[in-house]
Amino acid sequence: MRPALHAEWTKIRTVAGPLWLLLGMIAATVALSAGAASVVRCDSAGCGGDPAKLSLTGVQLGQTLVAVLAVLVVAGEYGTGMIRTTLTAMPRRAAALAAKAVILTGIVGAAGTVAVLGSLLAGRLILPGNGFTAAHGHHALSLSDGPTLRAAAGSILYLALIGLLSLGMAAIVRDSATSIGGVLGLLYLLPVLSQAIGDPHWERLLRQIGPMSAGLTIQATTDLHDQPLGPWAGLGVTAAWATAALVTGGALLRTRDA
């Protein structure tokens, strides 16, 4: 397994694309989070709002670049034909996919940590000026606060899971454009459908099974009863999607020709 990990790490760090995608993910996440924090106001006590979730809004955009990166890790090799070289050097195909998953999780986790901490810092600096103060029932964001720490750690895990889901999708489909379209459709279309459906039962069900709508409940620190699932249960749904995609992709990788 160690040679496989070394090979994947070498491929990731010796090309410019992954680095730019990770930097773009950090920038997009922090920028959207700062923008979201700057446009809301809390003008009176009890104004509501969830400062932690609001400050992590950018994760909804940053996950797009994570998905693109993860897809290219596999489907990019199919596009160039390099997958044959990879599987010749590492004939244990399950180990090859596992190595890709481990390296991807590591780099997305590191970049996600920077993005999440930057987003929370932006929220901590911006929100008090918009009325989110102790006088209005909102304390400054701090990782010493249990719910805020859970929202931050959960957001990092969520980004890593989106990467693994996308990696599995790419192993299944083997085409970059189709894989990216499939992942983004899965992430963004289910929430849209849930809003379009008038039946509250079906709306809640779609929110419970969608990898994004369920997974991002981990960011909620207030009004948890309004969420489709509990925070960790919601993240578990995203983990189930990622596991299913990886298992299916691994099985197909072992049975199909490169």
**Mean pLDDT of the region 156-166:** 97
pLDDT per residue as tens digits for the range 11-62? 777 777 889 999 999 999 999 999 998 988 877 766 767 889 999 999 999 9
pLDDT at residue 208 above 70? yes
**Mean pLDDT of the region 195-219:** 86
Predicted confidence band at 245 (pLDDT cuts at 50, 70, 90)?
A: very high
pLDDT score, position 228? 81
Does this model's pTM top 0.85? My answer is yes
Token pair in block for residue 252: 């197909």
Structural domain of 236: 2-255
Rg (CA), the chain: 19
pLDDT at residue 108 above 80? yes
Higher pLDDT, 42 or 181: 181
- Residues 231 and 224: their CA atoms lie apart, in Å, by 8
Q: How many domains does the chain have?
A: 1
Report the range of poorest mean pLDDT among 58-67, 117-126, 135-144. Answer: 135-144
Please provide the average confidence, as pLDDT, over all residues in the chain. 87
End-to-end CA distance of the chain: 20
- Residues 104 and 96: their CA atoms lie apart, in Å, by 12
Distance of CA 154 to the CA centre of its chain: 10
pLDDT per residue as tens digits for the range 75-103? 877 777 676 676 666 767 777 888 889 99
